[in-house]
Amino acid sequence: MDKKEGFSQVCVWPACIVGAEKVKEFEDLMKENFGVRVQYLEEIETFPDRDEFDKNIEGTGGRNDLFFAIHNEDVGSFAIKRLNFGIRWVEDVLADCNYSQRIYPERVFEYKTW
């Protein structure tokens, strides 16, 4: 996904499903309800957690997480509002202290450098 001009803060909304056919509706909803401009990026189904023997842990993974970017001018007004909905900055999600289980494809680390 190519970054639109002015959209550099990537967010992760765990367990959120939009669907490719409803991207415009999602972006409009974020503008109406939060007063922010967003760029839908993608939805990723999480990988299962792994045990100490590098085996999948049954009953984990398969959650749909939404990745989207906030317009630079809207980050400040969104910073607190997002917390009530479990929306996190991608840098926090992927920080070594938080990301012990590799539940996303490696390419998501590119979002840290947007």
Show me where the domains of the chain are located: 7-113
pTM comes to: 0.92
Say which residue the tokens 């509002």 belong to: 81
Q: What is the pLDDT of residues 51-80, one digit of tens each?
A: 989 899 999 999 999 999 999 999 999 999
| Res. 27: pLDDT tops 90 | yes
Among the listed residues 5, 4, 12, 44, the one whose alpha carbon sits nearest the alpha carbon of residue 112: 12
Q: What is the dihedral of CA 57, 58, 61, 63, to 10 degrees?
A: -150
State the burial class of residue 10 (Cβ atoms within 10 Å of its Cβ: 0-12, 13-18, 19+): buried
| Res. 1: pLDDT tops 80 | no
